[in-house]
Structure 1
Amino acid sequence: MDKLFLLDAYALIYRAYYAFIRTPRINSKGLNTSAILGFCNTLNEIINKEHPTHIGVAFDHGKTFRHEAFPEYKAQREETPEDIKLSVPIIKELLAAFNIPIFQCDGFEADDVIGTLATKAGAMGIETYMLTPDKDYGQLVTENVFIYRPRHGGGYDIIGAGQIEEKYGIKSPAQVIDLLALMGDKADNFPGCPGVGEKTAVKLINDFNSVEELISRSEEVKGKLREKIEAAADDIRMSKFLATIRTDVPIELNLDSLRLVEPDKEKLSSLFAELEFKTLADKFLNKGEKKQKTDNIQLSLFEEFPTSGKDESENSILASLKNSPHDYKLVDTQEKLTELYDFLRTKEILSLDTETTSTSAVDAELVGLSFSVEENKAFYVPIPSNREDALKILSFLKPLYENPATLKVGQNIKYDYEVLMNYGIRLQGRMFDTMLAHYIIQPELRHNMDYMAEVYLKYQTIHIEELIGPKGKGQKSMRDLDPSEVYEYAAEDADITLRLKNVLEPKLKEIGGEHLFWDIEMPLVPVLADMEMNGVCLDTKALADTAKVFNERMSTLEARIYEQAGEQFNISSPKQVGDILFGKMQIMDKPKKTKTGQYVTNEEVLQSLRSKAPIIDDILAYRGLKKLLGTYVEALPKLVNKRTGRIHTSFNQAVTATGRLSSSDPNLQNIPVRDDDGKEIRKCFIPEPGCLFFSADYSQIELRIMAHLSEDQNMMEAFRSGHDIHTATAAKIYHEELADVTPAQRKKAKQANFGIIYGITTFGLAQRMGIDNKEARQLIDDYFRTFPKVGEYMETAKRMARAKGYAETLFKRRRYLQDINSKNATVRGFAERNAINAPIQGSEADIIKVAMIRIHKRFADEGIRSKMILQVHDELNFSVYPEEKEQVEKIVREEMEKAYILNVPLVADAGWGSNWLEAH
């Protein structure tokens, strides 16, 4: 059966662009590919999930008949972001390569084009889907025509006539036009009837069937509503004209041209390569292609060969490997191993890689070792599964790894560092991590080797799946394969890493990132490696007790919620919560709805309604407990390593654009600390047996950095005098003596301090503080009068970012701001806030990294057995032997407070206890 999909291009492009607005996808050429990537992902999903037989894409094209009839139509919309303007021609090029037709017509919008094609197709009995998030399309739905609407958070809803009628409570989808005519449309800027919302509009349309009938029989409407309708009659008629999607556009439905056919693979491959869409290229171009493994090859260690050493008739794994001159050797005898050792030990640079059985370094066993010291040449040493035999090989190679005179090069070298620790080896000498080098050069791009090889070397690497198969039941491990099948893949990693080092090192110099790389990021690697391998002790009994208490409280809350609601329902279901609160209990007149018609019941909405009914507080408390249970209380014990009895989180250096460390598996950075329930989680983190828990964190470091950057005399004086900054701020804003500042005034000053320095809006501050906009505006004005140079700094930061295209930290870490000069105020505003935020958050991140490196070194130099075990933003945590208590606190305070000399003192607060909560 024929199945036609018609895509509303701009609606999908805008949706994709704004979905990535916080983490835009920028390629190495500086092009923001967010919209293109999102659009292509949607296309891929539709083609593979729905298997359409026919497909077409409609674009808006210039001014339309609506603009001519009503000049204010969409007049309030901001200018299209420049990145979208640049993306549209590329998307059209991609569609041409896909052999998917593009439809656009002078004087009409994409809605009208799709409306015309869908109506014609539906009349022919063709199952037709209009892919769009736009609610206006509801009027076009018929027996054979459906909306295929993207859901928030992923997935799609198929909306037919029944769903439209049920959602709005109307008799037919065509009446959507009349609803829009009465309600108006803020997005499209047409008026409707003032004071008429959805509820009233539905009642009127059900009573009168259409707006024409309503206007002609307006005398039947009672009171002020009648006056509103009669006064707005012309606006209602115009609104209906504007809301009506045309189905008579002069465009033909040619099913042959719409038929989904094979893409132009050569053209598509070229475009994907230019855009740096490696994953998408694999999805679209390599479907079903069989990958072949390398053949068994026996060669002497230094025998040269120009290609892969195989007959041209036998396909190697990838064309890039087959066609690129390379010399990769399998080192599988003691004689070859000795020859390799003698060759490598004289080299000044050693590129290395490890093949292992696990992505977790704590549990990983070595399968093989790779080395490269010259581009296009590499060696692979297989490691036996028997640990005794493995240790013999590692012991033999240990001097290579521990030679302090050799520069060690790796991709994510921290992992290799940790795996080698399992075999009694500690990498010595300077290290160059290509992942971290690229992170400094282009913090917002991807840093994996495959991506960098394609971008910088124009080289496509072998995929591990080509050896071990796709994820699933039948997937092999590297241990299952013969070394002859593995060695080219493994050797290639060491070779590519060396080649990337040679490309990236000069780029580091170009951007002035050498100090950041050599003195901060690289020395931090062994610090984090030690923390990860040591792990953190967890009191599982305390967590079990907490789980019991939380579950009992949830049961009590559940019973109370059911009693207040008058029925049982799924408290975890946003839909059912909305139906109870707004449908049944009607706790507010005009509740927010999603585009699919579901009531919005997120935390922000419920927090704003807390005064309306006690059930709100209970639902929020229930949700909070359930989240803590699922995310931490019940999840953490499952992550305890069976061998070590500890949790081993991974600290990620190359994830956040600001330079902050993040952690994963588990994420310990997000453990809540503000409420008592969240604090219960910290109670379960404990020191090693016989040790104390020590916690040290920077006091208001972000504000101290702001004082340093802005050089505001009032702010600097507050810190230099040792006064509490929030009390001092309140005293200045409210013209009080320090002793007379009330707790409420201090709280407001604190919220202002942390909100305003990050560019919070009047509305945002009002929402956060629970005050009206007028008071928030006054508070912001008073704040900038109190700290005038803070405002000046913020404007200077934006101005410098506009000139340079990036913001930078005290250590010259860059945050590129592609949209800082955008004509779209929303997009530009986001970039401007980052121009202010990045130097503060990034400097904070750099400072604590410096402190960690120096503390780690002092511990080693002074023979301290105590360990640094956790880092969370501006906080460091330690497991400390009691006899080292005074010495550890002295070292930690000194190194944290001297990590960088600001214009104001850096202060570290510290605490001790038997667990994290007590210490913090």
Structure 2
Amino acid sequence: MHKLFLLDGMALVYRAHFALIRNPILTSKGINTSAVFGFTNTLLDLIDNQGASHIGVAFDTKEPTPRHEIFPEYKAQRDAMPEELAAAIPYVKQLCRALGIPVLEVPGYEADDIIGTLAHRADEAGNIHTYMVTPDKDFAQLVTETTTMWKPGRQGGNHELLDVAAINQQWEIESPKQVIDILGLWGDASDNIPGVPGIGEKTAKKLIKQFGSMENILDSTDQLKGKQKENLENFREQALLSKKLVTIMLDAPVDVHWNDLALGNRDDAKVKSLLTELEFNAIGKRLYGADFTAGRGHQTNESSTDDTDSEPTEAPQLKTIDDVPHQYHLVDSVQALDSLTKKLSIANRYCFDLETTSLDPRSCDILGIAFSVKAHEGYYVHTGPGSPLKLVMVLEKLKLVFQTKLEKIGHNLKFDLSVLAMHGCEVSGPFYDTMLVHSLVYPDRRHNMDFVSEAMLGYTPVKLEQLAEQCKEPEKDLFASEEEPKPKKKKGKKKELNMSLIPVEALAEYAAEDADVTLQIAEKLRPWLEKIEQEAIYQNIEAPLIPVLTAMENEGIALDIVALKAIGDSLGKRITGLTEDITEAAGKAFNLNSPKQLGEILFGEMQLVEKPKKTKTGQFKTDEQTLAALAPKHPIVADILEYREASKLKSTYVDALPNHVSQRTNRVHTHFHQLLASTGRLASSDPNLQNIPVRSEAGREIRKAFVPRDAKHTLLAADYSQVELRVMAALSGDESMIQAIKNDLDIHSATAAKVFDVEIDQVSSEQRRSAKMVNFGIIYGISAFGLSQRLGIARTEASEIIETYFKQYPGIKDYMESTVEFAVDHGYIETITGRKCYIRNIDSRNGMLRKGAERAAINAPVQGSAADMIKLAMIQVSELLDKEQAKSKMLLQVHDELLFDLDLSEKDRLVPQIIHTMEHALPLPFDIPCKVDIGTGNNWLQAH
């Protein structure tokens, strides 16, 4: 039997374009080729892997259709096709023809009607099985014993074949023809087909299941009641019209014969030319082998090589500084500096970038500052060794422009602001940080400047390695040891660059190029930030947070080394004792840090469980989750878990923290990351002060080592109380939870009272613990299995608790379901502020991946909104401290907590204002109040 594949061109192109909307494929010229790339891959899969003997791609045309004649409003409300998508369609058609595949178009008829007509002809001809390649649900009506829907998978997933049985099951009908009746009743907002008011998908299916057809329903309204009966009678003609509009034609005037659809010979010269123009390296190599190249294709990150084809085409290469005319100036005189300052002061925005001797903003020296106000133009103010310009004088003059209200552009501005602040030069906003904006626009991509430049500008900046060729003293190693000065850029090298060996002229060109490229990237990013509707997130949250984090990082926190050593000694003794206990219980000595040896002891020799789980490599599983489930029953397992925690605390914090004390400030300075997480939650590194455990006694002990600045200060911890539950109540609108919060009830006791049907004052500690686990577990989409594991109860009991919970808080269940549906439809969710958090694998065919994505979708709006709240609080508290000219300083942000060095003389005046500011930083829907708990003390543990 022949295989005929008919592709719904428009639907597939749209799908491919929007599937990659948050991480589009761009050529070196910045052209969006997502639609062509996705469509071509689908096409090649059909040719290579599906055994297509005949194939055709159908497209709509601009002319009005017969549907417009009977209903002029048909598709009238549709938005105009995005320009990038419209530009892609000609390429799709050219590629089809070059691959020997006919493009099917009939003026005045839609792709649906072309496919419907050809599928119907194939059914009648016999010996042909037709596959309709489309994601469009309307095609379900065409499915027969010899016509099947071939629905492409999402995000690289497998395709789905929908035959008669699958359609009947999916639509709850007896024949695919009844899909027309369901669609007619239901209507289609995207095509402006009205249907019948009040009848959605579920109701339509129920009615067709009961009556068989739309006509039977309309003739039997006497069997119906209420509004449904009224609407079906009042909108009878509209229902019949809608049915006609959704019916795909089987007799469109398609002048195509069977032989026309036979897979033809491809025109290799045209195919290669198109692939080169589109920079599709991966597809080219798939068709023509490893030697094919189309320039630097960003979707595959491949480097360009010479095309060895017999009919080579000119491959677009990434441009470099040698290919682009530019004017980069070395500023090394007072006159030139004054001229530059004047130029900057009259600009509406400028980009700047520091060159430094180190990556540590609190110890580095400034070698120079680069500026750009215009593409392909840049200036480098030389302040390093040998310069007649002294840094103090340069910064004094530049303060005039650094402290104006001009927009300052940079890539990773926090570093530059930190360095300047340590040199006594404050920089005023507004700020446009291309690294942060790129993180919002393309969250799944890399954000270093070289990659962004190549992806958005088609331009490769000069690499530091290239400067080695211009080294002043080539006999010396340009890449010096760790003791030598380090550069600001190109992180990740084991050896760092000794900048002092680079000729000033070369360094000036290198630095000015950075500023120039960053300025150009900013202009490319602006429309994209607006397009994805994240301007407000950047302008109101991320941009004003930059100087706040800069100040916090530079402030640092004091560390009591003596107290830390005492904690380390105690941990060391505990580790030794645990090692002895574990060895005695095991009956032999072994390496406790070896998962393999540990597994053999616990499950091989001691046989703690009958059927132990194993890893893919055949080893026994000894991860924390596996051991935690066994710990209550086996003391040796509990000891192993305690040993692991103690060892990790000692190595990660006790032994490592002293190495992070700055020699210049004698304080510990963490590094905050604004957009490392898709939810916007802040992260901390070098050292990570956010992951110090607080649930275990040993973890809490570490906090004792963090202390106030001096005797005139105390540490103030201001912690949002149960903020994620308050946000969940706000997002879900659940009346019971909202009322409990407004009545200032203990939310876990209130939940326990409802779930276990007791008075709130009769709730036991065990019931409250269970309720607390459910409250927080629901936020993370916990399952009955997960809850049973955490509480140590049977899965049936856990399932009953969750079921009862949802009966008491129905709004939360509705929220969870609607959030997952929204994520499936859009690929992202939104926080209260409108931040978009993209959800991968939400429609994956892999059940485990999909369930994980669904849990992420449920949690992301909660965690993201809480993250936005504390970011806004940090901005507003910082403004408060500035306004009050306070001596007190904000030091750390750890999840829902802010930590301050509080000047004792300001305590009574500032603390109430800090609490008020934090509680009103982000007003929640339904007037749900936020609550902040505070504590003070001579160390972080006391304060918390």
| Aligned AA (1:615) | I
Residues 839, 541 of structure 1: alpha-carbon distance in 2 compared, 3 angstrom cutoff = same
| Aligned AA (2:824) | R
Residues 914, 475 of structure 1: alpha-carbon distance in 2 compared, 3 angstrom cutoff = closer
Match of 1:845 in 2: 867
CA displacement at 1:757 relative to structure 2: 2.5
CA displacement at 1:659 relative to structure 2: 0.4
Where 2:445 maps in the other structure, the secondary structure is coil
Q: Spell out, residue by residue over 1:446-479, the C-alpha distance to the aligned partner (whole angstroms, 9 max, x if none).
A: 2222222122212222222333566878753222
Match of 2:662 in 1: 641
Give the alignment of 1:208-219 within 5 angstroms. none
Between stretches 423-432 and 698-707, larger displacement belongs to: 423-432
Give the alignment of 1:707-856 within 5 angstroms. 707-856=729-878
| Aligned AA (2:787) | L
Where 1:455 maps in the other structure, the secondary structure is helix
Check the 8 A contact 1:610/1:617 in 2, yes or no: yes
CA displacement at 1:772 relative to structure 2: 1.3
Match of 1:403 in 2: 404
Between stretches 569-578 and 582-591, larger displacement belongs to: 582-591
Match of 1:96 in 2: none
Check the 8 A contact 1:402/1:425 in 2, yes or no: no
Task: Give yes or no for the alignment of 1:344 onto 2:366.
Answer: no
| Aligned AA (1:912) | T
Match of 1:273 in 2: 297
Residues 734, 318 of structure 1: alpha-carbon distance in 2 compared, 3 angstrom cutoff = closer
Residues 662, 474 of structure 1: alpha-carbon distance in 2 compared, 3 angstrom cutoff = closer
Residues 475, 748 of structure 1: alpha-carbon distance in 2 compared, 3 angstrom cutoff = closer
Q: Spell out, residue by residue over 1:369-393, the C-alpha distance to the aligned partner (whole angstroms, 9 max, x if none).
A: 1000011111111212489922122
Task: Give yes or no for the alignment of 1:702 onto 2:724.
Answer: yes
Where 1:384 maps in the other structure, the secondary structure is coil
Between stretches 545-554 and 390-399, larger displacement belongs to: 390-399
Match of 1:367 in 2: 367
Where 1:909 maps in the other structure, the secondary structure is strand
Distance 1:384 1:81 in 2: 57
Residues 660, 830 of structure 1: alpha-carbon distance in 2 compared, 3 angstrom cutoff = same
Check the 8 A contact 1:354/1:416 in 2, yes or no: yes
Where 2:25 maps in the other structure, the secondary structure is coil
| Aligned AA (1:884) | E
Check the 8 A contact 1:26/1:445 in 2, yes or no: no
Task: Give 2:528's match in structure 1, choosing from 507, 517, 520.
Answer: 507
CA displacement at 1:611 relative to structure 2: 4.4
Residues 450, 28 of structure 1: alpha-carbon distance in 2 compared, 3 angstrom cutoff = farther
Check the 8 A contact 2:649/2:699 in 1, yes or no: yes
Match of 1:313 in 2: none
Q: Spell out, residue by residue over 1:17-75, the C-alpha distance to the aligned partner (whole angstroms, 9 max, x if none).
A: xxxxxxx9974339999xx9xxxxxxxxxxxxxxxxxxxxxxx9789xxxxxxxxxxxx
Distance 1:80 1:454 in 2: 31
Match of 1:562 in 2: 583
CA displacement at 1:342 relative to structure 2: 2.6
Distance 1:267 1:367 in 2: 44
Match of 2:391 in 1: 390
Q: Spell out, residue by residue over 1:555-603, the C-alpha distance to the aligned partner (whole angstroms, 9 max, x if none).
A: 1111222222222111111111122222222222222222222222122
CA displacement at 1:81 relative to structure 2: 6.3
Match of 2:357 in 1: 357
Distance 2:294 2:627 in 1: 48
Task: Give 1:593's match in structure 2, choosing from 599, 610, 614.
Answer: 614
Check the 8 A contact 2:354/2:370 in 1, yes or no: yes
Match of 1:488 in 2: 509
Distance 1:677 1:836 in 2: 32
Residues 26, 561 of structure 1: alpha-carbon distance in 2 compared, 3 angstrom cutoff = farther
User: For this pair of structures, how many residues does the alignment match?
Assistant: 648
Where 1:273 maps in the other structure, the secondary structure is coil
Q: TM-score, normalised by structure 1?
A: 0.67
Q: Spell out, residue by residue over 1:465-509, the C-alpha distance to the aligned partner (whole angstroms, 9 max, x if none).
A: 333566878753222211112122211111111111111122222
Match of 1:29 in 2: 25
Distance 1:466 1:672 in 2: 45
Task: Give 2:646's match in structure 1, choosing from 625, 640, 651.
Answer: 625
Q: Spell out, residue by residue over 1:90-135, the C-alpha distance to the aligned partner (whole angstroms, 9 max, x if none).
A: xxxxxxxxxxxxxxxxxxxxxxxxxxxxxxxxxxxxxxxxxxxxxx
Between stretches 465-474 and 742-751, larger displacement belongs to: 465-474
Where 1:323 maps in the other structure, the secondary structure is coil
| Aligned AA (1:875) | E
| Aligned AA (2:435) | M
Residues 733, 570 of structure 1: alpha-carbon distance in 2 compared, 3 angstrom cutoff = same
Distance 1:537 1:891 in 2: 25
Distance 2:752 2:533 in 1: 41
Residues 429, 473 of structure 1: alpha-carbon distance in 2 compared, 3 angstrom cutoff = closer
Q: Spell out, residue by residue over 1:760-786, the C-alpha distance to the aligned partner (whole angstroms, 9 max, x if none).
A: 111111112211110111011001001
Check the 8 A contact 2:565/2:654 in 1, yes or no: yes
- The alignment yields a C-alpha RMSD, in angstroms, of 2.9
Where 1:570 maps in the other structure, the secondary structure is coil
Match of 2:929 in 1: 905
Distance 1:62 1:363 in 2: 62
Distance 1:807 1:622 in 2: 40
Match of 2:940 in 1: 916
Distance 2:298 2:575 in 1: 54
Distance 2:869 2:787 in 1: 29
Check the 8 A contact 1:650/1:665 in 2, yes or no: yes
Match of 2:379 in 1: 379
| Aligned AA (2:567) | T
Distance 2:692 2:33 in 1: 33
Task: Give 2:710's match in structure 1, choosing from 686, 689, 693.
Answer: 689
Distance 1:443 1:782 in 2: 38
CA displacement at 1:535 relative to structure 2: 0.5
Distance 2:505 2:669 in 1: 34
CA displacement at 1:269 relative to structure 2: 6.0
CA displacement at 1:883 relative to structure 2: 0.9
Distance 1:389 1:763 in 2: 67
Where 1:409 maps in the other structure, the secondary structure is strand
Give the alignment of 1:565-576 within 5 angstroms. 565-576=586-597
Match of 1:426 in 2: 426
Distance 2:527 2:366 in 1: 33
Task: Give 1:616's match in structure 2, choosing from 637, 643, 664.
Answer: 637
CA displacement at 1:552 relative to structure 2: 0.9
Residues 612, 750 of structure 1: alpha-carbon distance in 2 compared, 3 angstrom cutoff = closer
Ranges in structure 1 where 5+ consecutive residues have no aligned partner: 1-23, 37-59, 64-78, 88-262, 286-316
Distance 1:595 1:847 in 2: 42
Q: Spell out, residue by residue over 1:603-651, the C-alpha distance to the aligned partner (whole angstroms, 9 max, x if none).
A: 2222222245322222221111101101111111111111111111011
Ranges in structure 2 where 5+ consecutive residues have no aligned partner: 1-19, 27-31, 38-47, 52-150, 160-287, 307-316, 469-477, 480-491
Check the 8 A contact 2:888/2:906 in 1, yes or no: yes
Between stretches 649-658 and 573-582, larger displacement belongs to: 573-582
Q: TM-score, normalised by structure 2?
A: 0.65
Residues 833, 588 of structure 1: alpha-carbon distance in 2 compared, 3 angstrom cutoff = closer
| Aligned AA (1:509) | E
CA displacement at 1:85 relative to structure 2: 4.9
| Aligned AA (1:917) | L
Check the 8 A contact 2:362/2:664 in 1, yes or no: no
Check the 8 A contact 2:318/2:459 in 1, yes or no: no
Residues 626, 401 of structure 1: alpha-carbon distance in 2 compared, 3 angstrom cutoff = same
Distance 1:745 1:617 in 2: 24
Distance 2:370 2:508 in 1: 8
| Aligned AA (2:320) | S
| Aligned AA (2:530) | K
Distance 2:817 2:544 in 1: 35
Check the 8 A contact 2:22/2:443 in 1, yes or no: no
| Aligned AA (1:643) | R
| Aligned AA (1:595) | K
Where 1:274 maps in the other structure, the secondary structure is coil
